Structure 1
Amino acid sequence: MNGRKREGTVEIPCGRRRLRHRKPTYKARAEVAGDAAWEVGGGHISEEGVDSKTRRSEGPLLEPGFRRRRDCVTAPKAQRTPFEKVRVLQRKLYRAAKAQPQRTFGVLYDKVCRLEVLEVAWDQVRRNRGAAGVDGETIEAIEARGVLGFLLALREELISERYRPQAVRRVFIPKPDGRQRPLGIPGVKDRVAQAAVRIVIEPLFEASFRAGSYGFRPKRGAKQAIYDIRKWVTYGYDRVIDLDLKSYFDTISHELLIKLVQRRVRDPRVLRLIRRWLRAGVMHDGVREETLIGSPQGAVISPLLSNIYLHPLDLYWEREVKATKMVRYADDLVVLCRWKPPETYMPKLRQFLARLRVTVNEDKTRMVAAREGFDFLGVHFRKQPTRRDPQRSFCYCWPSRRSMQRVRDKVKAILDRNTLPSLKEKLDQLNPVLRGWSAYFNWLNSAQHFRKVDQYVTFKLRRWLQAKHQRRRRAFWKTPLAYWREAGVYGIQGRIAPTR
């Protein structure tokens, strides 16, 4: 044994005894999945991205041989992206606000001016696209000129407090009842600044928002609201108040809104930005109008401000009227009653909304039984006996008449009398409409309605092809359904998803 070495062992002299020490094989590696390395709190040390659960003698960098290493550490992987940094910031703000419900935050403006926050805000504005504001500057023009330079210039304006918002451009879109809805479109720079402020202050208010609010909130939406309404109506809350607010966004009080924002935000510079956006004015036909009341629909920060404004209503109703369930999506809300008739709760509802300086639209407000049916968020709800057991009732949901008419109008507008484009060009416009419409309703009781929409689409396609090829024979109408599927038409019939 003296002087001899066996393969895989090393002799280490230690006094009279000689120990055999096997060569180390470094097989352990720190595997951190997703955002786990960047979580706030937990069992990690203060160094960012370091896994404290792995010993110092272990880790991917100690793996002998580059070829055997499965996860190579590169510079892009070692650095966090702007989105991850913003998520860490939002988690910290949310947890601080959740732990102390009465706390107000006074130092937020520096977080709005961070470059990573502005980068995430730009990404949100870019994905939403949108038209240009009064300055005529588009997203495409900024991308061609350079996004980084645009963000650095905006950051410099915010830091030096030289930033001033422009007036919003007033446009009108048709409403289902024939009237027109005014929209205010801010400039791209104002949209990015509003998105940055929303990124910072939204976690503070999300910690206080109630479970009955679903509109324009992260990880919540119309499907959750529809599901809860169906659940509560099935459980016996089958007397409904379908409430409509009259010109809600145009009647928001600036003074009351700022007071509600100050319950969480005390930074004077952030409050000053919100005031300036509210009072930026409206430009229509070259004439600038002052805005002393209301929040423009179309602004990035308006959905959050609308939820802040109606949050006292959610809080009051949850604490004082516990025998009902309120489901609110922005300014659309329903109250589901169980024991008492809906007329009992209307005086309280009107009284509290008057304190918020909001008016109830009496012409559109309805008090109905769920067996008669009501519409909400484009869905028709109706409680009726089940097929298997007539003694039991269930709340069935399907697309409302207005939703059916809306998709027919879109199909009709695409398949107009313009026969110059090819069938593929028409389908490139038609399929996204059908795909998006079916994705919203495919988990409801919509099989019959999907079949009707499919029949209408094939009918309009036959009429369009008949005009394009100038064929008037009746045999042209016997085109099989398989022909349209092979041609690339997105069929929605049979795409009902199973309910979880």
Structure 2
Amino acid sequence: MNKSKEKCAPENMVLSDTERWKSIDRHKAEEYVRKLQARIVKAQREGRHGKVKSLQWLLTHSFYGRYLAVVWVTTNKGKNTAGVDHVRWSSDAAKVKAIDTLKRRGYQPMPLRRVEIPKKNGKKRPLGIPTMKDRAMQALYLMALDPIAETTGDQHSYGFRKYRSCQDAIAQCHNVLSRDVAPKWILEGDIKGCFDHISHEWLLNNIPMDKEVLRKWLKSGYVFNGSLFPTEEGTPQGGIISPTLANMTLDGLQSLVQKAVKPYWQPVPTAYGRKWIESKINLVRYADDFIVTAKDKETIENVILPLIRQFMAERGLMLSEEKTKITHIGEGFDFLGFNIREYKSNGKLLTKPSKDAMKQFCDKVRTKIKSNKSAKASSLIRMLNHMIPGWTNYYRYGASSKAFSRVDYEVYKTLWQWAKRRHPKKGMHWIKDRYFKQLHGREWCFATITKNKKSGKETTLSLKRLADTPILKYVRVRTNTNPYDPADAPYYARRKSKNTENQLREIDDLLRMIWIHQEMRCPICGEIIDDERRWTTIKETVNGKPFKILIHSSCKNKKFNPDNISRK
């Protein structure tokens, strides 16, 4: 019997579709799915593949699983993007009706709507956009597949995985390359059109999920410029389940290269007579970008590369000759926007923003400034202040101080040209006095005076300096943990809590204090507020006093209970 049967209201009460949607207990749904996912992990580790399949079937056919799939696709960034049917589930009534449509029997996905987006190298990347229903079906089956992917995945694969990020991959690179006896040679690997060329046959033979549903997705085709095209290979970029399918396709590469070269004892003329020689083979992967380290160039050329090429060929893939290269650590290499290099002068390994990353950000800032020639200084400052934190927060975990100062200087030069263009008849001193102030003992701060319309109070609005961003040490995720294993839940809870606190501090320290005052919980549903679910702020009155509180965005239309606010 399906224990997730919907219980929204008394039996004799008839609810509208909108009321029915709002009455569903999201916390109960998440708890139900979480328990099933934990059981899938346990069964997978025990090698009980029949049990895994039955638990997957239970999850994908449950009401709560289907409900959360609809929540997923109606709250993520692509919620307003329609597929070929032009349907969006924007109303609560549409969402609750959608739950009943997510059924395996009679399911036939529609073709993808293909669009092309520009790449850095000037080429275009095809993006396949499924319909809302197909996205929800993918989300539903991903809930049942991802626990297996996390259980069997390569330890040092960091792309498109729960609670893993680019920073984890960079931290691992720094870890293996900064040791006393570190490898000196790096293979920079890049797979040519990875998503577009994965073998359908390999996926159908190796991905542990409903084969019929997977086959229908892979063969659904796509519509481009009004014409229908078949899909004979690849998994589309744009599909919710595609990154996980790509990750599972590349899993096994780490163990393959590490087993290729084994450590050994080498005879030496010492008292011990021998010493232990490490293989120095390490793999770090983020999606289809990866590096492999080795002690010498010959090992990469003669052992590692042939193995990788064979591994890729079995999956319908091949390495990009344009982007795959062998580099010495003294020359440095770029990975995920960072440059990693060992400097001969002091022997130190530094991880800092790559030249390309700095150039791209500076170009983006210049474009923003030049496209707002007639904007007020206050408007321009707000635009730039919105752009800067995203870039600095990504690079703040490396040796980025000099890079931040360099970008600050480039921004200053562009702003000076912007100001001169606005006032061609004014002198340098006049322009400086108009747009550049002395703040906190620092000259040449781009700033302006703004006035509050209600209170009439004047305040100074200034441009954020990248160099003011504190450089932090990143703590890499423990690679032997599983986000779906209840035993690892306390670790991930602490990690998410710390990440949320840092994010709130970056936005406004007052928000962080409110969050702590609420004991990190949403006062409406009682669940933890962290970076996994969207949150917002509302104003409520408690004992006659106005309160600003943090809640989950999904709880916004639910009844507020003042008793849930801490009185500390």
Instruction: Give TM class, smaller chain.
Output: 0.7 to 0.9
The 3 A distance-change label for structure 1 pair 467 and 122 is farther
Partner in structure 2 of residue 484 of structure 1: 446
Partner in structure 2 of residue 125 of structure 1: 73
1:473 aligned residue (382, 405, 427)? 427
Per-residue Cα deviation, 1:232-277 (whole angstroms, up to 9, x for no partner): 111212200011211111111111111111xx33xxxx32222222
* Alpha-carbon distance between aligned partners in 2 of 1:466 and 1:119, rounded to the nearest angstrom: 57
The 3 A distance-change label for structure 1 pair 119 and 159 is closer
* Residue 360 (structure 1) aligned with residue 319 (structure 2): yes
Instruction: Work out whether residues 313 and 353 of structure 1, in 8 Å CA contact, stay in contact via their aligned partners in 2.
Output: no
* Alpha-carbon distance between aligned partners in 2 of 1:425 and 1:135, rounded to the nearest angstrom: 39
- Compute the RMSD of aligned alpha carbons: 2.5
The 3 A distance-change label for structure 1 pair 426 and 352 is same
Partner in structure 1 of residue 468 of structure 2: 494
2:47 aligned residue (79, 100, 105)? 100
Deviation at 1:450, TM superposition (A): 0.5
Partner in structure 1 of residue 339 of structure 2: 380
Instruction: Work out whether residues 97 and 103 of structure 1, in 8 Å CA contact, stay in contact via their aligned partners in 2.
Output: no
Instruction: Work out whether residues 252 and 357 of structure 1, in 8 Å CA contact, stay in contact via their aligned partners in 2.
Output: yes
Instruction: Work out whether residues 417 and 467 of structure 1, in 8 Å CA contact, stay in contact via their aligned partners in 2.
Output: no
The 3 A distance-change label for structure 1 pair 368 and 153 is same
Instruction: Work out whether residues 239 and 369 of structure 1, in 8 Å CA contact, stay in contact via their aligned partners in 2.
Output: yes
* Alpha-carbon distance between aligned partners in 2 of 1:313 and 1:79, rounded to the nearest angstrom: 38
2:393 aligned residue (439, 442, 449)? 439
The 3 A distance-change label for structure 1 pair 463 and 205 is same
Partner in structure 2 of residue 168 of structure 1: 112
Gap regions ≥5 residues in structure 1? 1-75
TM score, norm. by length of structure 2: 0.67
Partner in structure 1 of residue 404 of structure 2: 450
* Alpha-carbon distance between aligned partners in 1 of 2:205 and 2:169, rounded to the nearest angstrom: 28
Deviation at 1:86, TM superposition (A): 2.6
The 3 A distance-change label for structure 1 pair 119 and 491 is farther
Deviation at 1:455, TM superposition (A): 2.0
**AA matched with 1:84:** E
* Alpha-carbon distance between aligned partners in 2 of 1:134 and 1:426, rounded to the nearest angstrom: 38
Instruction: Work out whether residues 159 and 285 of structure 2, in 8 Å CA contact, stay in contact via their aligned partners in 1.
Output: yes
* Alpha-carbon distance between aligned partners in 2 of 1:177 and 1:436, rounded to the nearest angstrom: 23
Worse-matched range after superposition: 226-235 or 377-386: 377-386
The 3 A distance-change label for structure 1 pair 318 and 260 is farther
Partner in structure 2 of residue 463 of structure 1: 417
Instruction: Work out whether residues 132 and 188 of structure 1, in 8 Å CA contact, stay in contact via their aligned partners in 2.
Output: yes
**AA matched with 2:29:** P
* Alpha-carbon distance between aligned partners in 1 of 2:194 and 2:152, rounded to the nearest angstrom: 22
Deviation at 1:127, TM superposition (A): 4.1
The 3 A distance-change label for structure 1 pair 79 and 176 is closer
Partner in structure 2 of residue 336 of structure 1: 293
The 3 A distance-change label for structure 1 pair 104 and 355 is farther
**Alignment: residue pair count:** 407
Deviation at 1:294, TM superposition (A): 0.9
* Alpha-carbon distance between aligned partners in 1 of 2:134 and 2:98, rounded to the nearest angstrom: 9
Per-residue Cα deviation, 1:16-38 (whole angstroms, up to 9, x for no partner): xxxxxxxxxxxxxxxxxxxxxxx
Partner in structure 2 of residue 43 of structure 1: none
**AA matched with 2:109:** P
Partner in structure 2 of residue 45 of structure 1: none
Q: Secondary structure at the match of 1:153?
A: helix
Deviation at 1:177, TM superposition (A): 1.3
* Alpha-carbon distance between aligned partners in 1 of 2:416 and 2:110, rounded to the nearest angstrom: 49
Q: Secondary structure at the match of 2:97?
A: helix
Instruction: Work out whether residues 216 and 330 of structure 1, in 8 Å CA contact, stay in contact via their aligned partners in 2.
Output: yes
Gap regions ≥5 residues in structure 2? 1-22, 263-278, 440-444, 448-459, 475-568
Partner in structure 2 of residue 159 of structure 1: 103
Instruction: Work out whether residues 82 and 116 of structure 1, in 8 Å CA contact, stay in contact via their aligned partners in 2.
Output: yes
* Alpha-carbon distance between aligned partners in 2 of 1:467 and 1:221, rounded to the nearest angstrom: 42
1:69-468 matches, cutoff 5 A: 80-100=27-47, 105-107=52-54, 108-130=56-78, 131-138=81-88, 142-143=89-90, 145-146=91-92, 149-159=93-103, 161-235=105-179, 236-261=182-207, 264-265=208-209, 270-322=210-262, 323=279, 324-338=281-295, 341=298, 342-344=300-302, 345-385=304-344, 390=346, 393-468=347-422
The 3 A distance-change label for structure 1 pair 160 and 271 is closer
The 3 A distance-change label for structure 1 pair 192 and 160 is closer
**AA matched with 1:398:** K
* Alpha-carbon distance between aligned partners in 2 of 1:132 and 1:469, rounded to the nearest angstrom: 46
* Alpha-carbon distance between aligned partners in 1 of 2:146 and 2:467, rounded to the nearest angstrom: 40
The 3 A distance-change label for structure 1 pair 297 and 412 is same
* Alpha-carbon distance between aligned partners in 2 of 1:234 and 1:94, rounded to the nearest angstrom: 34
Q: Secondary structure at the match of 2:73?
A: helix
Deviation at 1:230, TM superposition (A): 0.9
Per-residue Cα deviation, 1:127-149 (whole angstroms, up to 9, x for no partner): 432232222234xxx33x32xx4
**AA matched with 1:257:** L
Deviation at 1:103, TM superposition (A): 6.1
Deviation at 1:79, TM superposition (A): 9.0
Per-residue Cα deviation, 1:22-72 (whole angstroms, up to 9, x for no partner): xxxxxxxxxxxxxxxxxxxxxxxxxxxxxxxxxxxxxxxxxxxxxxxxxxx
* Alpha-carbon distance between aligned partners in 2 of 1:279 and 1:237, rounded to the nearest angstrom: 44
Per-residue Cα deviation, 1:191-250 (whole angstroms, up to 9, x for no partner): 222112111210012111121211111121211110111111112122000112111111
**AA matched with 1:116:** Y
* Alpha-carbon distance between aligned partners in 2 of 1:471 and 1:99, rounded to the nearest angstrom: 78
Instruction: Work out whether residues 70 and 99 of structure 2, in 8 Å CA contact, stay in contact via their aligned partners in 1.
Output: no
The 3 A distance-change label for structure 1 pair 425 and 161 is farther
* Alpha-carbon distance between aligned partners in 1 of 2:97 and 2:104, rounded to the nearest angstrom: 11
Instruction: Work out whether residues 194 and 300 of structure 1, in 8 Å CA contact, stay in contact via their aligned partners in 2.
Output: yes
Instruction: Work out whether residues 411 and 430 of structure 1, in 8 Å CA contact, stay in contact via their aligned partners in 2.
Output: yes
Q: Secondary structure at the match of 1:487?
A: strand
State the identity as a percent: 29
* Alpha-carbon distance between aligned partners in 1 of 2:117 and 2:468, rounded to the nearest angstrom: 34
Deviation at 1:434, TM superposition (A): 1.2
